[in-house]
C-alpha cells in the first residue's frame, strides 16, 4: 500500500485554499508514489499539519510558520520515495 | 467518526485539477459534516469516481459524464447529513 498524505487545516482560519493548493503540488509531484492526499478540516483552531501515514512531518505551531512547497516536497520525498530527484526543488533554499 | 469522501481520478487524463476543484466545493459545503476529502490518483485509466466511506456515489463510466457540483452535493448530503439544506443547490437542475 502506497503512503497516504494528510493535510489537516483549520477551516475557521481560512486555510482550505492553502491546503488544497499544497495537495495539488504534492499530487503533481508524487502521482505514482502515493495512495492519495487527504484534506481534513481540523476541529482544533489554528492547526495546520502535514503527515505521511499518520506520522507528522510538518506542524505550523512547532515551526512558527507555514511550510514552503520545496521544503514539504523534500520531507515527503524522503519518506515516500527517497531516491526520487525533485529537480530544481532539490537545491538548497 | 465522520464520513470520508474519496475522489479517485485518472491523472493521465489530466483530471487532477478537476478533482481538486470538486474537493474544495465539498470541503466548503460539508466542513463540519465530514472527516475529510481524499484525492486519489487512480491506476485505472479513465477512472473518475466519488465515494463516501468506500461506497461509490458517482462513477463517470456508468454515468457517461462528469458529475455536476449541485448533483454531487445532493448525493453526498443524503449520506453525510440528510437534514442539511443546500440552499440554491437544492433546487431541481
Q: Please tell me which of the candidates B16, B24, B40 has its beta carbon nearest to residue A28.
A: B16
CB contact under 8 A, A11 and B23: no
User: Backbone dihedral region of B54: left (phi > 0), alpha (psi from -120 to 50 degrees) or beta?
Assistant: left
Question: pTM, whole model, 2 decimals?
Answer: 0.95
Q: Pseudo-torsion of CA B76, B56, B61, A7, nearest 10°?
A: 70
Q: Is the pLDDT score of B26 beyond 80?
A: yes
Q: What is the ipTM of this complex?
A: 0.95
The shortest CB-CB distance from B35 to any of A20, A27, A40 is to A40
Do B39 and A37 lie within an 8 Å CB cutoff?
yes
Q: Which residues of chain A have pLDDT under 50?
A: none
What residue in A sits closest to B19 (Cα-Cα)?
A24
Query: Tell me, which fold does domain B4-89 have in CATH?
Result: Glutaredoxin (3.40.30)
Name A8's bridge partners. Answer: A40, A49
Distance from CA of A46 to the nearest CA of B (A): 15
Give residue B88's pLDDT.
80
Nearest Cα to Cα of residue B76 among B12, B18, B29: B29
How does pLDDT run across B45-76, given as a tens digit for each residue? 999 999 999 999 999 999 999 999 999 999 99
Q: Is the pLDDT of residue B84 over 90?
A: yes
Amino acid at each position: 500500500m502506497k503512503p497516504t498524505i494528510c493535510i489537516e487545516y483549520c477551516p475557521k482560519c481560512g486555510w482550505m485554499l492553502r491546503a488544497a493548493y499544497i495537495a495539488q503540488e504534492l499530487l503533481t509531484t508524487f502521482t505514482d508514489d502515493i495512495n492519495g492526499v487527504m484534506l481534513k478540516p481540523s476541529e482544533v483552531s489554528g492547526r495546520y499539519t502535514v503527515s505521511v501515514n499518520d506520522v507528522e512531518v510538518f506542524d505550523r505551531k512547532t515551526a512558527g510558520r507555514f511550510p514552503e512547497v520545496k521544503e514539504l516536497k523534500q520531507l515527503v520525498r524522503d519518506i515516500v520515495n527517497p531516491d526520487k530527484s525533485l529537480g530544481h526543488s532539490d537545491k538548497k533554499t
